[in-house]
Chain A
Amino acid sequence: MPIDTATGPHAVKPIRELLTRFTPVQKAVSDLDNATLTYDILNWTFGPRTPPPAPNTVYGSLTIRRQSTPSATLYHIQQKTHIGGQATQLNAELTCDLNDTLQSWTLNTHREDADGNPVPISILREVGQNKNGHIQSQDGAYEYQASNTLLSHWSLPHLLLRNALALPSAFDMLQDLSVLRANQSLIDEGPIDLDSGTYTAYAQTGEGILPTHYLLDDRQRPQLVTFGLIAWALTDIM
């Protein structure tokens, strides 16, 4: 799609020219319903004039484990980031219905001191639930009204892995389990050719986010997710 590629700023250049140095994971996944995706979290600094080697900085890791049960879908999240010399741990347990609509969750997070111990003032536990679109934390600290199907941003790569076509055309997204991003949509942008292969790109747009691109390989593995300054790059799948 010609969108000012000749004269426009980097801001509107298509993503493909920025992705020539990405190496995908080749491992196969046997059980799509119970898969685990592990990502590096990158400070995304690909730029058209950035010479190799890529200066992208890995500042964290994210593991998203999906567990299918007869009555619910569970997600187990582990995330660790290093920002400003401090490490932050985040663990979350999500309970979704069989369509992956978010129902309830528990999140625990804290910063670590230099010895790896939790900093007491930073310890936070959040418990929340979604009842017919009414989203509320147990302690009353936040409350939202969703007008569409509610998904977690952590479940989206799994949804794409299992069946991108089954995603609702419009949804609301609870980011970090505490910030509502309303009126999201995901569209198939078609194939995108990189040095490492051909991918199918899905673009998510909506309130409170920059266009987010999910790149799926020929086995539907979500190899790369690019936000604005952050990217998730797949490092393992099983």
Chain B
Amino acid sequence: MKPNILFIHVDQMHADMISALGHDQLNTPAMDRLVREGYTFSKAYCAMPQCCPARACWYTGRMSKEHGVVVNGYPIDPDIPDLGQWLRREQYDCVYTGKWHVSGRELHESFEVLQPEHGMGEINDGNVARSAVAYLQNRTDDQPFFLNVGFLNPHDCCFPALPDGGPGKYAFAPAIESDLPPLPDNFNDAYAENGQPAIRDWSRRDWQYYIYQYHRMVEMVDAEIGRVMDALRASPYAENTLVIFASDHGDGAGFHANVSKGFLEEEAFRVPTIAWWPGHIPAHVQDSDHLISSVDIAATICDYAGASPLPKTTIAKSMRPLFEQSNGPWRDYIVGETSIGPLSAAIVEERYKSIIFTDHTRLYDLQNDPLEIRDLANDPDHAETLARHRAHFRAYIAQIEMYPEPDNVEEMDLARGNLYREYTDWYTSVLNEA
């Protein structure tokens, strides 16, 4: 019997903001229970740390430079099927509630829609949860379901972080003065000197307040996750449903004095990823040995659904062998990309990570410097590592099927100009280094 599949995702959640993973400034009982009962990856990375590209990667199993959504708003390659379309062929009841945000594709083309998306999590996440609970209680179909629950929070953190204040009321309350969290150990007002722009002219207490409200938004969405999981556990589907929980990308959350996303430092790039299916997926495992890319989620879902892999997936690997603890080979590195700000790509190995820009590279030893404070790129002792990462980058470019500049690019209303030409030129030049 094919399993049901429940894919719960949140938006802009920092990978470590789960109390069961050791965070002591917030309380996340629902995600804690997922950690206890499920298989948690501590080295899972999004394919690109921005909403539309990351989501297109989830649902196509392709990297951002393959499906065309290289930055928010750029349209997806219309010829690439997504998971909804793909699993419908396998007789799955493909249902979606909440945030979609895959630019260029209407959600109803791929899924039955329960609750439409809305740009503010505080307004809609409760309805999203309730729609999923109602679906689980009311459905009468015999076919397996592929239910996607797209929560928006903690993405609402974007509003108080807007330079002009943005919408909403994020007023301080004196009562929380003593509850403000400490700043991260790598909080660094001078990070701009390292190439990352300091984007907010805030006092230290402003930063503490930002982090405080971010924690509360994580708690908000945690409660909604719990609501859906509780309904699943109480339903007839509890024993035959694979649950995957993930975030599309992380958030600066004050690390490196950063907010938001789009950059390849760990806080925005690394994401929470948990799989749950009691009796089928080992419980209480925290896997720090295997590097996971968010495109692997599509491959895993296809695998469990008994579907062939999505077409033209080049990087994605099913996580199922890891859950079944078969000792096959896994990848040695993963690649992430971004087109926000300067074009860049990250290579992450078990120990070292480089962030490659068009004109320079930064290198970090994640084992000894997980907060990425010391750039080792100019250290001669690490020249070999740098060269190896450059070779990985070339191999990656050679492996993917680069989405070409569309013929009608001049007619397209692209907010950030012709990024297609920028990355194809850069990637081609890197490839030609060989």
Contact = CB atoms under 8 A, between A and B. Distances in A.
Is the A/B pair a real complex? yes
Interface string B97-133: 0000000000000000011111010111011001101
A125 to B, nearest CB: 9
Interface of B: 26-27, 114-118, 120, 122-124, 126-127, 130-131, 133-135, 137-139, 156, 159-176, 179, 200-203, 205-206, 209-210, 213, 216-217, 219-220, 222-224, 226-227, 230-231, 234
Contacts of B135: 121
Nearest to B128: A83
A96 to B, nearest CB: 22
A229 B227 contact: no
A207 interface: yes
Contacts of A83: 115-116, 118, 123-124, 127
Contact of A4 (B126, B169, B206, B219): B206
A85 B118 CA distance: 10
A211 B138 contact: no
Given A1-B174, A12-B206, A179-B126, A49 B164 contact: yes
A231 B202 contact: no
Contacts of B205: 3-4, 8, 12
Interface in A115-142: 120-124, 139-142
A228 B115 contact: no
Contacts of A9: 160-161, 163, 165, 200, 202, 206, 210
Contacts of A45: 167-168
Given A88-B127, A229-B120, A230-B122, A141 B172 contact: no
A49 B209 CA distance: 21
A10 interface: yes
A7 B201 CA distance: 8
Most A CB atoms within 10 A — which of B26, B115, B124? B115
Interface footprint category on A: 35 or more
Contacts of B230: 141-143
27 contacts: A3-B205, A4-B203, A8-B206, A10-B170, A11-B161, A12-B172, A15-B171, A18-B169, A48-B165, A83-B115, A83-B124, A83-B127, A121-B138, A122-B114, A124-B137, A124-B138, A141-B230, A181-B223, A182-B27, A203-B173, A203-B174, A203-B175, A208-B223, A209-B220, A210-B170, A228-B213, A229-B159
A179 B122 contact: no
A207 B170 contact: no
Given A9-B202, A143-B230, A211-B172, 13 more contacts: A15-B171, A43-B123, A44-B167, A49-B164, A59-B123, A83-B124, A83-B127, A85-B116, A124-B137, A179-B223, A207-B26, A228-B169, A229-B123
B127 A11 contact: no
Contacts of B202: 8-9
Given A12-B206, A229-B159, A44 B168 contact: yes
Contacts of B139: 121
A234 interface: no
Nearest to A16: B171
B199 to A, nearest CB: 11
A1 B203 CA distance: 16
Nearest to A59: B123
Given A15-B171, A208-B220, A124 B164 contact: no
Contact of B123 (A110, A122, A230): A230
5 closest residue pairs by CB, A with B: A10-B165, A84-B116, A211-B173, A11-B160, A15-B171
B209 A12 contact: yes
A3 B231 CA distance: 43
B227 A178 contact: yes
A196 interface: no
A92 interface: no
Contacts of B163: 9
Contacts of B172: 3, 11-14, 211
A141 B234 contact: yes
A226 B165 contact: no
B170 A180 contact: no
A209 to B, nearest CB: 6
Contacts of B156: 228-229
